[in-house]
Amino acid sequence: MSSEARSDLLHDLIRSALKAGADAAEAVVAERRSLSVGVRLEELEEVEREESRDLGLRIFVGRRQASVSASDLSPRTCERLVERAVAMARLAPEDPYGGLAPKELLAKGPHPELELYDSTEASAVELEERAREAESIARAVQGVTNSEGASASWSTGQWRLVTSHGFEGEHRGSVFSLSVGVIAGDESGMERGGEGRTTRWRTDLPSPEAIGRIAGERAVARLGARKIDSRTAPVIVENRIAASMLSAFVGAISGPSVARGVSFLKDKLGERIFAPGFRIVDDPFRPRGLGSAPSDDEGVKVEKRALVEDGVLTGWLLNSSSARQLGMTSTGHASRGLAGPPGVSTHNLYVEPGALDLKGLMREARTGLLVTSMFGPSLNANTGDWSAGVSGVWFEGGEPAYPVTEITIAGNLIEVYGRLVAGSDLEFRSATNSPSLLADAIAIAGR
């Protein structure tokens, strides 16, 4: 479907909704194409292709709202979609904070070139070759005994939003991925290891050789893992997974969570919660960023902003609804699918790097735990009490000593955040990124 055809369809839908009794409306069309291939032990396991085109409509009758979606874009389906949405809205409870984004906050062009779309398409044969090569390299690492498989994929997507109060915006993006997981084994047991990367442009994706080698070496490095006694000690979370330490922070500064009072940071706005000098930035304009966008999902203009400046919490992540509820202004963080009201999400969130690399952090801490794998985190959203299962490497004298496993780390995040030291090894691997993070003392539960 051409850009003009998408625009005409959405404008027609908006006009129909207003004619049917809606006071305001917004319509979205999303198109996606993808191809993925999976292999295991040199055998092709799956080939999956997707082509989809979906439509979403959200309408308001006064302060009552409803949303509907469909994958059939025929005139008759669109007509029924409008009828159903208006009927649902008339029966819905009133939402005093509902409504389209304020018109004065809407994004206006020209927008910066974000380089989100690479038109390159790989055939199933090419993807299979890349997956096979990554798996072969990983299996060739001495100590690797089995494979969990490898996969390669690409996808493209387009999103167009039109509102009844004058916003019209479209952006498209591409994603390329390659990943592999293997198992290493010896007399001490078996351990898993893997590596995967996702990029906007195919040329930015690491080679199959690099991904396979890292996956194999990571599995082998975990062999001989020991259990350790419970204690309190310095903990470093490796940059590859350090972003998981930020997920609770993002949830706690989410406008809807703050408005509901379900946030351990709800009373901390303007206060220092991280160490002096600590800075967390959200950047929607990062070229080729996995979270980059010219506007948010309500059409509100976006901007690069420091969410934490010199350790101080500077603001919330707000969509229009939560902004109204808190008596504030949307920050351009609305996020939505085809149906349902918007939530919030960050764009390209990252912790600014510090002065020490990973080895430097280990030397600084002298003795402690380097976390290289984290699973099953648990959070009390009201208090910030947090725990997670981890495995990694015990280090002594600033040098790796031996791998460790079956460990839980725990603490109150307000206290932990206040002692975090950022390393210098920031890598942009996803939409949320961080260098390695050191906390000088965290409770470790072992045997």
- Helix (H) and strand (E) counts in the chain: 10, 19
**In-domain check, residue 402:** yes
Indicate if the pLDDT at residue 215 is higher than 80. Answer: yes
Number of domains in the chain: 1
**Tokens 């952090």 sit at which residue?**
361
**In-domain check, residue 414:** yes
Give the pLDDT band (50/70/90) at residue 5.
low
Q: Can you give the pTM of this predicted structure? A: 0.94
**In-domain check, residue 116:** no
pLDDT at 339: 84
pLDDT at 337: 87
CA distances from 160 to 101, 169, 299 (A): 16, 6, 10
**In-domain check, residue 102:** no
For 372-386, the pLDDT digits (tens) are 999 989 999 999 999
**In-domain check, residue 340:** yes
Q: Is 243 helix (H, G, I), strand (E, B) or coil?
A: coil
pLDDT at 1: 64
pLDDT at 109: 83
CA distances from 146 to 192, 217, 332 (A): 9, 13, 46
For 153-193, the pLDDT digits (tens) are 999 999 999 999 999 999 999 999 999 999 999 998 999 99
**In-domain check, residue 308:** yes
Q: Which of 445, 441, 366, 357 is nearest to 400 (CA)?
A: 366
pLDDT at 378: 95
Angle in degrees, 0-180, between the axes of helices 3-19 and 75-91, rounded to the nearest 10 = 40
**In-domain check, residue 412:** yes
Secondary structure of 96-160 as H, E, C letters:
CCCCCCCHHHECCCCCCCCCCCCCCCCCHHHHHHHHHHHHHHHHCCCCEEEEEEEEEEEEEEEEE
**In-domain check, residue 71:** no
**Domain limits for position 278:** 225-447
Query: Measured between alpha carbons, how far is 361 from 421 in angstroms, rounded to an integer?
Result: 8
